[in-house]
Homo-oligomer: A and B are copies of this chain.
Amino acid sequence: MRLIAMVLGCVLAANGMAQQALWGGNDIVSPQVNDDRTVTFRLYAPNAERVEVEGDFLSPVTASTPVGETESPGKAVMTKNKDGVWEYTTSPLASELYSYTFLADGLRMTDPSNVYQLRDVASISNIFIVGGQPGDIYSVQDVPHGNLAKVWYPSPTMNMTRRMTVYTPAGYEDSERSYPVLYLLHGAGGDENSWSELGRAAQIMDNLIAQGKAEPMIVVMTNGNASRQAAPGEAPNSMSKPALFVPGMMDGSFEKAFADVMDYVEKHYRTLDDKAHRAIAGLSMGGFHAMQISALYPDRFDYVGLFSAAIHSNNKSDVYSGFERNLARQFCEPPLLYWIGIGRSDFLYKDNTAYREKLDGLGYRYEYTETEGGHIWRNWRIYLTAFAQRLFSPNRH
């Protein structure tokens, strides 16, 4: 590295570059995933009195976690070495995508040695992946990759242009065939970037498709805040702090405007435009949206996924007041797969139990998956991985 730097330093310039804006970073390696699956964190902070690492790998959720109890990441105190570098090494970790931050004398900060970060609503954390399963599914592998586009589309219903993320599978650009579509919806505080960033949707789809475990499909990731054009920073005058709650959330307008999304996608992409080739799934608020939309357009979706879904809205929208009737219509000719997944300690667990009892009472068939943990992205990545493998092929369901 020193040699390369010297040679190229000569190539580019004899002087000055080192002090100019191109340089960055430091010599600390953090995090370091070790061969024994332990992970070492390091922070150079010679003046700090106490440094902690806070991460979701420090509080493994166990089956004994009482239902409804909240989760928060655990903390570990780091140790300062003689060079002023604080270190902490975990016990061996199960394969997963983990997130963490540091606390230096109580001040929360991201790891300056790790540029891999994700924003969740208004918080930014560092991430790392421990390989194996499911970590490898969330990682970029040496397989054909789909493309990911940020697409502006007109929404006549909302009288605005809006932004969505569209994944087209590897091969799409060089084929003439038409593809099925999965509409994948985010939760409160999220946006059209959430599934591709926090949810690793492109990596999951690339890897499942490459392994023959999922059909090649287009994945459309909308912005579920119908009053907003786009993610924070991507719409005019939107570079303020992202909020969990957005005006107009869950008031029926996103569901009504969803026809605009389908119209645009089916006009601009090579799609298979029948019920057997459309799926819709969402997490939390997006699960609620998927539940409502699949009922509001009862002949459109053969595959429905409710991931840790919100079940109720207090809003008096005619969409929601018509839900019972819409649901009945949807199940006249029932979807091939109505998939419900939730974590045992999710605060929406009881609501989901009640919803399943209602479906049971009506004789509507669904599949149910229960996992450890709460209302967290770890579960939503697991659910997407499971759900995507069930779509669009007779031998998958």
Binding site for B on A (CB under 8 A): 1, 4-5, 7-13, 15-17, 19-26, 29, 45-48, 68, 70-72, 104-110, 112-117, 119-124, 128-129, 139-142, 144-152, 161, 163, 170, 173, 187-189, 230, 232-236, 238-239, 241-245, 247, 249-250, 268, 284-285, 310, 312-315, 347-348, 351, 374-377
- With A4-B247, A105-B105, A375-B17 given, is the CB distance from A285 to B23 under 8 Å? no
- With A107-B104, A109-B107, A285-B12 given, is the CB distance from A161 to B145 under 8 Å? yes
SS class of chain A's interface: helix, strand, loop or mixed? loop
Contact status B188-A245, CB under 8 Å: no
Contact status B120-A236, CB under 8 Å: no
Closest to A313 in B: B11
Could you pull out 12 A-B pairs where Cβ atoms are within 8 angstroms? A5-B245, A8-B249, A11-B249, A13-B351, A19-B72, A21-B375, A25-B121, A104-B109, A112-B124, A140-B234, A147-B149, A149-B150
Query: In the assembled complex, which residues on chain B have CB atoms less than 8 Å from the CB atom of A121?
Result: 22-25
Complex Cα distance, B206 from A21, in Å, reads: 27
Complex Cα distance, B29 from A230, in Å, reads: 21
Of B12, B104, B117, B242, which contacts A188 at CB under 8 A? B12
Q: How far is the CB of A10 from chain B (nearest CB, A)?
A: 6
Complex Cα distance, B239 from A243, in Å, reads: 29
What 5 pairs across the A-B complex have the smallest Cβ distances?
A: A25-B122, A24-B123, A16-B347, A149-B149, A19-B70
Closest to A239 in B: B116
Contact status A128-B239, CB under 8 Å: yes
Of B20, B24, B47, which contacts A347 at CB under 8 A? B20
Contact status A235-B19, CB under 8 Å: no
Complex Cα distance, B72 from A8, in Å, reads: 22
Contact status B375-A20, CB under 8 Å: yes
Query: In the assembled complex, which residues on chain B have CB atoms less than 8 Å from the CB atom of A268?
Result: 173
Contact status B106-A109, CB under 8 Å: no
Complex Cα distance, B114 from A124, in Å, reads: 9
Closest to A21 in B: B376
Of B68, B117, B147, which contacts A151 at CB under 8 A? B147
Complex Cα distance, B29 from A239, in Å, reads: 12
Query: In the assembled complex, which residues on chain B have CB atoms less than 8 Å from the CB atom of A285?
Result: 12
Complex Cα distance, B23 from A150, in Å, reads: 25
Given contacts A24-B120, A109-B112, A115-B124, 10 further A-B contacts (CB under 8 A): A11-B312, A12-B285, A12-B348, A20-B347, A25-B242, A46-B106, A140-B230, A144-B161, A147-B149, A149-B149
